[in-house]
Amino acid sequence: MQSNRLEKLLDFLENEPNDPFLLYAIATEYLGIKDANSALKYFEILLLEHQNYVGTYYHLGKLYEALDRKEEAIKTYQAGMLIAHTLRDNHALSELQSVYNSAIGLNEDD
């Protein structure tokens, strides 16, 4: 089922190559089938071509953490917080702040 959905998303992307939602959906589909390298490729495309697509920062940061690339995760969270603040997306800002704090070792109890 997931591969069929992924195939459809990839087909859609051929017709709409600049659609950030499609790039995001493809990246998350790859995560779902445990293909971290392909997910990383699409998240990084999003980061380069659609900096204001706020959802990228959380998921890319988490992927970097899963790949033991903690410094890149922290930088990604920081960049996402700046974008979320600029866009006044307080929900995304709060989520990014939480994962950032966790990544740098701050607990809410500290």
3-state secondary structure labels for all residues of the chain: CHHHHHHHHHHHHHHCCCCHHHHHHHHHHHHHCCCHHHHHHHHHHHHHHCCCCCHHHHHHHHHHHHCCCHHHHHHHHHHHHHHHHHCCCHHHHHHHHHHHHHHCCCCCCC
Range of the domain at 32: 1-50
Predicted pLDDT at 25? 96
pTM greater than 0.75 (yes/no): yes
Q: What's the whole-number mean pLDDT along residues 13-20?
A: 94
Predicted pLDDT at 1? 47
Q: Are residues 91 and 77 in the same domain?
A: yes
Q: Are residues 70 and 96 in the same domain?
A: yes
Domain boundary residue among 50, 68, 83?
A: 50
Q: Are residues 45 and 2 in the same domain?
A: yes
Q: Are residues 85 and 65 in the same domain?
A: yes
Q: Are residues 14 and 29 in the same domain?
A: yes
pLDDT tens per residue across span 80-109 = 999 999 999 999 999 999 999 999 998 755
Q: Are residues 44 and 61 in the same domain?
A: no
Q: Are residues 43 and 75 in the same domain?
A: no
Residue 48's pLDDT band (cuts 50, 70, 90) = very high
